[in-house]
Amino acid sequence: MAIFVNENTKVIVQGLTGGQGKYHGLRNKAYGTQVVGGVTPGKGGTDVEGIPVFNSVAEAVAATGATASFVAVPPKAAPAATLEAAQAGIGFVVCITEGIPAQDEARTFNTLKRDFASTRLLGPNCPGIISPGKCNIGITAGEIAQSPSSTGPNVGIVSRSGTLTYQALYELKQLGIGVSTCVGIGGDPVPGTSFIDCLAEFEKDPETHAIIMIGEIGGSAEEEAADFIKASVSKPMSAYIAGVTAPAGKKMGHAGAIVSGGKGTAQGKMDALRDAGVKVGLNPTEAGSLMSDIVKGLR
């Protein structure tokens, strides 16, 4: 199994006729993902290398039976595109768009929670999701991901950092460790999907035997995840927190990566995770090595 997406997931790309949407949408299709359509208002009836384009998500869903959407449109259009997907009955929306104002993110998140509870948003400002060998939605290079084995042990990955998502995937591939699903939740202040959401799904997934979590400074998501791990996660975990040397009050890369008022520090997050029984590495490679030890113990 996998979480959120699998080989049966049918995907449309909102913004397929744009540069980023076309490039990554075609890469996702080449990986084996069922990319069944694209959406660009005014360009319905055309196609992108054989993928039909529709004027609206509702039209695309009616024609293709799509269940997931990949939003690759500019920041100004991304909130409306996300809500259009939800209104059309799409159950899983991946938004890679960077630079959406936090107020717009919060409004979109709350509208989804209130009016479209059956739609899950991943992102924005995230690399997307890959269930290796089954489905890849977003900008992750599929060749760096090791497919899960039928016997395991297989590892689930959840990360706030896009670049470190890729490194975690490649570290495990070099170690010959299969990945059930890798979820990049993004580093913006209002993510549609949280660490806890992913940890809960990995805990239920029989194909996931251990979990790597990659966090960073800012906010309290990692501490909240640590509390959830203590109470509800039985599977062994390793983790890495980026930003140990970050100065207080300075935003570091992501909009949500800022230490403020003495809270959100890397050390505080690492301490919370260790207290929850997670093996915490001091760098991404060490987190991978710790997971290798965990996997050896599961065989």
Q: What digits encode the pLDDT tens for the residues 133-157? A: 999 999 999 999 999 999 999 999 9
User: In this structure, how many other beta carbons lie within 10 angstroms of the beta carbon of residue 170?
Assistant: 17
In a domain, 256, yes or no: yes
Q: What is the pLDDT of residue 260?
A: 46
- Same domain assignment for residues 159 and 262: yes
Q: What is the pLDDT of residue 245?
A: 57
Structural domain count of the chain = 2
Upstream peptide bond of 124 is cis (omega within 30 degrees of 0): yes
- Going from the C-alpha of 250 to that of each of 37, 160, 194, 266, the distances in angstroms are 42, 18, 23, 14
- Of 160, 254, 269, 279, the active-site residue reads 254
- 254 is known as an active-site residue: yes
In a domain, 5, yes or no: no
- Same domain assignment for residues 55 and 197: no
Q: What is the pLDDT of residue 112?
A: 98
Q: Helix crossing, 78-87 with 102-115: angle to 10°?
A: 10
- Same domain assignment for residues 159 and 257: yes
pLDDT digits (tens, 9 = 90+) for 51-79: 999 999 999 999 999 999 999 999 999 99
Reply yes or no on whether the pLDDT at 249 is more than 60.
no
User: In this structure, how many other beta carbons lie within 10 angstroms of the beta carbon of residue 222?
Assistant: 25
**Bridge-based pairing state of the strands 178-184 and 210-216:** unpaired
Q: DSSP assignment, residue 144?
A: G
- Same domain assignment for residues 117 and 149: no
Q: Helix crossing, 78-87 with 57-64: angle to 10°?
A: 40
Report the SS3 class of residue 235: coil
> Long-range contacts: 203-206, Cβ < 8 Å, 24+?
203/232, 203/233, 203/234, 203/235, 205/1, 205/2, 205/3, 205/156, 205/180, 205/181, 206/1
As beta bridge partners, residue 52 has 47
Q: Which CATH number fits the domain that encloses residue 79? A: 3.40.50.720
What is the pTM assigned to this prediction? 0.94
- Same domain assignment for residues 289 and 163: yes
Q: What is the pLDDT of residue 257?
A: 46
pLDDT digits (tens, 9 = 90+) for 108-117: 999 999 999 9
User: In this structure, how many other beta carbons lie within 10 angstroms of the beta carbon of residue 103?
Assistant: 11
In a domain, 3, yes or no: no
Domain containing 166: what range?
141-298
